[in-house]
Amino acid sequence: MKLKSKILKDFIVVAVASVLVTMISLSLFFSLATYSVMKDDVKDYGEAVAAFLESSEEKGIEHFFEDSDNYGIIVADENGEIIYDNGIYDVYQQSINAVKNGQLELKVGDKYCYCQKLESGEILIISQEMDSFLDLFNEFIPVTVSVTLIIIAVCVIISSKLTRGIVKPIEEMAKDVEKAPYDELVPFTGMIKEQRQKLDDQMQRVLEAGKIRRDFTANVSHELKTPLTSISGYAEMIENGMAKPEDMQVFGKRIYRESMRLLRLIEDILKISQLESNQVPKDLEDVDIYELCKECRESLDILCEKYGVSIELKGQTAVIKGNRDMLHELIYNLCDNGIRYNHPGGKVFVTIKSPVEQNGVNGVNLIVEDNGIGIDEKHLSRIFERFYRVDKSRSKQTGGTGLGLAIVKHICEQYNGAVSIQSTLGKGTTITVFLPYVQ
């Protein structure tokens, strides 16, 4: 339903209800008033006749017979015998009985009777034909209905004009929300602009999320396809007998390497999906970041030997509230990244600084610095994106999945922390992670 129709309908309903109630009330009032006036007229006439009879010696009641108009008059003696009567004998007996019972007013058929006992003992009865209250009300109905219909028609016309006057500023504002025709509408324009901006922002986020999902799906498909293609190719050569005996070991190593790469990729995809959906462990415990760095260094000993890189740990005990496995994953990925993209004989420096303050929040700084190949400045803004690789050929050689730093970023966000990177091509990279003490 349109707003204009709704307002018009409400106006008409209120107007019709008001008119009906008013007209019915007025009809009842006028009917009651008319009935009361007619009764008072009969009483006044009766009192005038009574006064005349009590003051006149000759009691010229015939005078009232001649000028009685629509009134009926009966005068009876104290015994109830009629002295004067101008033709209303039909009400006599009931009126006499009413007077004896002390009743001065009564309705007999369509006649209203007023009775009074004079000082002389005589009884005076005045009557007049009078419609009942309901009859009077029914007489007002045709006039009431006619007037009501006219007023309703006028109300509809006025309501229509009022509705257009109310809706017009809103329609004008809808065409140009920046211009409010009335001061009262200014707050609404602000709210509308704010809501519209929120909708635009939400739509933009939805579009961005859709693009991210599409890119993610495409990247996952590509990343999974590459090792699977290699594995299936080598396996097919072995199955068909195309591989020479001396090549079997080489092919086996390649299949194993690609399988491990595929396994790491799947694990990283599951981790980042879990982080993005907020399906992360909620159980927090006291975790010593320094001790956790020691454990990660031990876990990476074999990788360090493979690439000829060493890890040096500096700092002191720093305890925060967190999930041990997630924090281990964060440190492991940072150190793993520093090892894989380094030179033989290179170093990875892991430094713990505590306490530090960032934006009014106390916490721990975890700094992972290497003297490896470094990153060109143009790549730094995208380095934390999923599957983004600065050197794709080197990533393939080292077995990187392209998700390590993306996982680091998501873990930092889960802990209300922050991560930043500084790098110089050919000199090395420094990644700083801030983790608050309490989540």
Shared domain check, 82 and 33 = yes
Measured at the CA of 37, the angle between CA 35 and CA 39, to 5 degrees, comes to: 70
Shared domain check, 432 and 290 = yes
**Which tokens is 218 given?**
């495409």
Instruction: Give me the pLDDT at residue 88, please.
Output: 66
User: What's the whole-model pTM score?
Assistant: 0.48
Shared domain check, 304 and 190 = no
Number of domains in the chain: 3
Predicted confidence (pLDDT) per residue in 221-235, tens digit = 656 676 777 778 878
**What is the strand order of the sheet 418-424 is part of?**
310-314, 347-358, 361-370, 428-436, 418-424
β-strand pairing of 111-117 with 105-108 = antiparallel
β-strand pairing of 347-358 with 361-370 = antiparallel
Measured at the CA of 106, the angle between CA 104 and CA 111, to 5 degrees, comes to: 130
Residues of the chain with pLDDT under 50: none
Instruction: Give me the pLDDT at residue 1, please.
Output: 52
Phi, psi of 83 (to 5 degrees): -100, -50
Instruction: Give me the pLDDT at residue 430, please.
Output: 93
Of 279, 308, 329, the position where a domain reaches its end is: 279
Shared domain check, 391 and 355 = yes
Provide the domain limits for residue 227: 178-279
Which CATH number belongs to the domain containing residue 232 in this structure? 1.10.287.130
For residue 346, what are the contacts with CB-CB under 8 A and spacing of at least 6? 307, 308, 309, 310, 370, 371, 372
Report which of 385, 388, 379 is spatially closest to residue 422, judged by C-alpha positions.
Answer: 379
